[in-house]
Structure 1
Amino acid sequence: MKRIFYFVAVMLLTLQVQASGKLDKLSNKSKKCMECHQKTSPAIVEMWGASKHFRGKVGCYECHQAQATDKDQFMHHGERISIIVSPKDCSKCHSHEVKEFSESHHAQAAKILGSLDNVLAEVVEGNSGFVTPAFPEGNSAAAVNGCWQCHGSEVKVLKGGKLDPATWPNTGIGRLNPDGSRGSCSACHSRHKFSVEQARNPENCGKCHMGPDHPQMEIYKESKHGIAYYANKDKMNMDNGKWIPGQDYNAAPTCATCHMSATKDMPVTHDVGLRISWNNRPAVSIRPEVSDKKLGLPGQHINWKTRRKNMKNVCLSCHNGSYVDNFYTQYDALVELYNEKFAKPGLKLMAAAQPLLNPVKFSNELDFIWFEIWHHEGRRARHGAAMMGPDYTHWHGTYEVAKHFYAKLIPKLKKLAKEAMADSDAKVQKDGKNLKKVIDEVLNQENHKWFLGKMSDKERAKRKKNAEDFKKRYEK
């Protein structure tokens, strides 16, 4: 009977909030929470007091209430609550936003726990020295404090609703919650103020989108967009309810402007992939609907051309059509260059080398060389072009890719092939010959002939003329 009353109460609350956007008054249960927390954690109460939740009479209990069947529930001063406020909890009032988010790549971010990145954090960088109740055989502190804090952990619940310290605190965007939901709304909407201004701020995204393999924050700061933002931050009107470029602000775009916020033609979206026309995460860039299909997401039915049209709608708030079209022509050319010149040949070379390598991941120097070429340098080049960051596209990107492809990867592969061909084992000899054959095939492609000194006379003459023309131009 109590369970039935609980569901009725939740339904009534949900209907009232969705219909009016607020409750008539703060509940007695939330008032009781306030009385105590004003003494024990006053900053939290103050932050909540500056929120829209406060103005809508949505208090502690409305968000933290739990039922007896919840894995992470416990009794707290006579009330059944849980510490975690999951997307499922938020969906009682924000169902549309949670649906969009749950269908996005953000909600799938914890799948990194089974990737090469996590092999690095758990094994290569880490050990099993971090022992907790949920992990009696230990875990890697490198993974817990690093990977999991952005991508999310699987929250483990201990006896009495307590949360295992290896998995909590955690606001990773793809967190696996005890109630079966994925994600963490507070990854972007920091509790307990849930400031829309903060969520629109580029540094909010920079918590995760920065560093050697995905330096979007650094690229943004270098770009004309970022420069304009920091010069005109006081003109951005970022705390306004309606926030449409060209109407409510015009100084600069932020991450939210381009990837999530409303335009004059489009509503706000919590699926950050619906305006992205390349997925630059893999070794070879692919279209987003391809990666969505692999993850089983509804986005598999939304092709890259539609997504690009969505992003162009944002761009056209400030730029004209030819400017936007030309930008995408440049961007596509860079992605194509990287894919065809380095990524696809690199994968082919590493596949040929595999039979001659130690099968344990990252136990070979070549594993690290290739991983950094595509995972770090190749991503920087592609993301730099996507966000108009020339230094990240070139010096931190394509230059690093080329340097390590020609000065590290190829020499190491040649040495490996030479040693294998001299081995007494017939199979090793055969694999060595095959590797040499693939190296020769790759280097004799038009993109790499220069490395063998095989640049054509026509190309040499063209380059000489270009150099002379530029010299004359700048001598004037």
Structure 2
Amino acid sequence: MPIKKNHFALISFCFLFIFASPVSRAVISDCEKCHEKITPMQVKDFNRGKMAESMSCVDCHGNMHQGVDDVAKAQLPTISTCEECHADQASQYLSGKHALGAVALEAMPYTHMQPQPFIEGQKGCGGCHTLGVKDQNSRLEEGRKYYRYGMDCQNCHTRHSFSKMEASEPEACQTCHMGFDHAQWEMYSGAKHGVTYLLNRIIDHQNKDRAPKCQTCHMPGGDHRVFSAWGFLAVRLPEEDAEWMGYRATILKGLGVLDPDGNPTPRLDVVKEAKMARLTKEEFDAERKRFTDICKKCHSPNFVTENFKNADQMVKEADKLFAEAIEIVAGLYRDHIIVKKEGNASYPDLLAFYDVDTKIEQTLYEMFMDHRMKTFQGAFHLNYDYSTWYGYAKMKKDLTEIREMAQDMRKKISLK
């Protein structure tokens, strides 16, 4: 049936309207008139997002900045800015571990020795750990004066579109959760859960949720309180397994949380503040239950229990190797074969990380931050290759090298 001229004209008009129209937006603000020339992609990005339908620049940046001469008056958003509309999410986030990112970084004893661009300038650890910007007072803190940018919510909801859909995909976590000491992205994306989700997102988009993504387990129901039972350091108290507690005590001495005699040190308060470890059984069990409840939606209770038990045991096996390595290096300190620059002379300070003076200490650091991390994180993320070849096998290699290096160092001393 031939298309009538008026029908053709109508179709043509609709086609042009849909494809030629600019991105939908609210009323153009005075800010946009200027910034379309200065930062056009920023304006375009904002108008891609849902917020552009009801908000303008001044809602987040204030109205003090009016021209090129008063740029510094533009207010940079904080969590409290987002909280005005997203109170529940802000409250959840502030009760979780992400909001403590900067606290954890500042708790490290050697952070103050790093180059400013590396920490405050966010070109190193500070790039991910620039978290906890609660309000404008947070921006006045000494550590944020060097570089004023960065803000929590945008790390997942990338500015200026602030997409919920984008933040809901596992790649949103990849920026920080990858690499040397926390290769969770590599583990997840190469394990069955990640492969199934990412593959079905392509071939069967409607059923991609047949496998979990990061947010399924770590942010159930969109809960912004991200927390886990073992935490980053895989340390908990108390420990009912006496053998394991022996290994744990050695590790806690290396972390500086216990002194050589096993007594708590002031660093324990720092660990508590940054929530870097679970320090009561009730706290650990509550966080564990949050995860097992999610797992049981797909797996039988027995399957879930057995898998978590085996993953926990991998932490123990890693701790067994690590504790021996710590004690070997501690023996070199006690015998003054390695002379520490400062602090406790009886145990290596694991939180010094790479700021150490000898090869054996560097090997211990890599055993801690690289190979032990991959051993236990790989176990919980169901990536057996990471847990084995990048983790446990490397820890075995580290321990062998540490034994040999310690023996050689003692021989050299005895020959003098």
Structure 2 length normalisation: TM-score?
0.71
| Aligned-partner residue type, residue 85 of structure 1 | P
| 1:285 maps to 2:273 | no
Structure 2 match to 1:348: 327
Structure 2 match to 1:395: 389
- Per the TM alignment, residue 285 of structure 1 is displaced from its structure 2 partner at its CA by 3.0
Structure 2 match to 1:107: 99
- Per the TM alignment, residue 291 of structure 1 is displaced from its structure 2 partner at its CA by 9.2
2: CA distance, partners of 1:116 / 1:164: 18
After TM superposition, list the pairs within 5 Å mapping 1:345-424 onto structure 2: 345-354=324-333, 355-360=336-341, 361-406=355-400, 408-422=401-415
| Aligned-partner residue type, residue 109 of structure 1 | G
1:95 paired residue among 87, 112, 115: 87
- Per the TM alignment, residue 358 of structure 1 is displaced from its structure 2 partner at its CA by 3.5
After superposition, give the CA deviation of every residue in 1:38-81 in whole Å (9 maximum; x if it has no partner).
343333233222322123x1221111117xxxxxx755479995
- Give the RMSD, CA atoms, in angstroms: 3.6
- Per the TM alignment, residue 250 of structure 1 is displaced from its structure 2 partner at its CA by 3.1
| Aligned-partner residue type, residue 31 of structure 1 | S
- Per the TM alignment, residue 342 of structure 1 is displaced from its structure 2 partner at its CA by 1.2
After superposition, give the CA deviation of every residue in 1:396-447 in whole Å (9 maximum; x if it has no partner).
00000001111x1011112223334455xxxxxxxxxxxxxxxxxxxxxxxx
* C-alpha contact 1:65 1:80 (8 A) present in aligned 2: no
Pair 1:196–1:373, CA change in 2 (3 A)? same
2: CA distance, partners of 1:292 / 1:322: 37
* C-alpha contact 1:188 1:205 (8 A) present in aligned 2: yes
- Per the TM alignment, residue 356 of structure 1 is displaced from its structure 2 partner at its CA by 2.2
2: CA distance, partners of 1:250 / 1:154: 31
Structure 2 match to 1:463: none
2:210 paired residue among 218, 237, 251: 251
- Per the TM alignment, residue 336 of structure 1 is displaced from its structure 2 partner at its CA by 1.4
Which segments of 5 or more consecutive residues in structure 1 lack a partner in the other structure? Answer: 1-24, 67-72, 123-127, 129-137, 158-162, 172-183, 238-247, 263-267, 424-476
Instruction: Give the % identical residues.
Output: 23
Structure 2 match to 1:446: none
1:190 paired residue among 154, 158, 167: 158
1: CA distance, partners of 2:315 / 2:322: 10
- Per the TM alignment, residue 378 of structure 1 is displaced from its structure 2 partner at its CA by 0.6
After superposition, give the CA deviation of every residue in 1:172-223 in whole Å (9 maximum; x if it has no partner).
xxxxxxxxxxxx1101110111112211222211111111211111101210
* C-alpha contact 2:190 2:383 (8 A) present in aligned 1: yes
After superposition, give the CA deviation of every residue in 1:222-243 in whole Å (9 maximum; x if it has no partner).
1001110221114456xxxxxx
* C-alpha contact 1:293 1:300 (8 A) present in aligned 2: no
2: CA distance, partners of 1:74 / 1:34: 13
After TM superposition, list the pairs within 5 Å mapping 1:26-37 onto structure 2: 31-37=29-35
| Aligned-partner residue type, residue 30 of structure 2 | K
| 1:206 maps to 2:171 | no
After TM superposition, list the pairs within 5 Å mapping 1:36-115 onto structure 2: 36-55=34-53, 57-65=54-62, 76=67, 81-110=73-102, 111-113=104-106, 115=108
* C-alpha contact 1:101 1:270 (8 A) present in aligned 2: yes
| Aligned-partner residue type, residue 92 of structure 1 | E
- Per the TM alignment, residue 164 of structure 1 is displaced from its structure 2 partner at its CA by 8.7
* C-alpha contact 1:148 1:170 (8 A) present in aligned 2: no
2: CA distance, partners of 1:225 / 1:291: 37
Structure 1 length normalisation: TM-score?
0.62
| Aligned-partner residue type, residue 361 of structure 2 | D
* C-alpha contact 1:118 1:143 (8 A) present in aligned 2: no
* C-alpha contact 1:104 1:297 (8 A) present in aligned 2: no
- SS of 1:344's equivalent in the other structure is helix
* C-alpha contact 2:107 2:270 (8 A) present in aligned 1: no
2: CA distance, partners of 1:164 / 1:116: 18
| 1:295 maps to 2:273 | yes
- SS of 1:303's equivalent in the other structure is helix
* C-alpha contact 1:64 1:82 (8 A) present in aligned 2: yes
Structure 2 match to 1:431: none
Structure number with the bigger relative contact order (C-alpha 8 A, sep ≥ 6) is: 2
2: CA distance, partners of 1:193 / 1:285: 38
- Per the TM alignment, residue 271 of structure 1 is displaced from its structure 2 partner at its CA by 1.7
- Per the TM alignment, residue 381 of structure 1 is displaced from its structure 2 partner at its CA by 0.7
Q: How many residue pairs are counted as aligned between the two chains?
A: 337
1: CA distance, partners of 2:168 / 2:384: 24
* C-alpha contact 2:117 2:123 (8 A) present in aligned 1: no
- SS of 2:210's equivalent in the other structure is coil
1:150 paired residue among 125, 128, 141: 128
* C-alpha contact 2:378 2:387 (8 A) present in aligned 1: yes
1: CA distance, partners of 2:42 / 2:292: 40
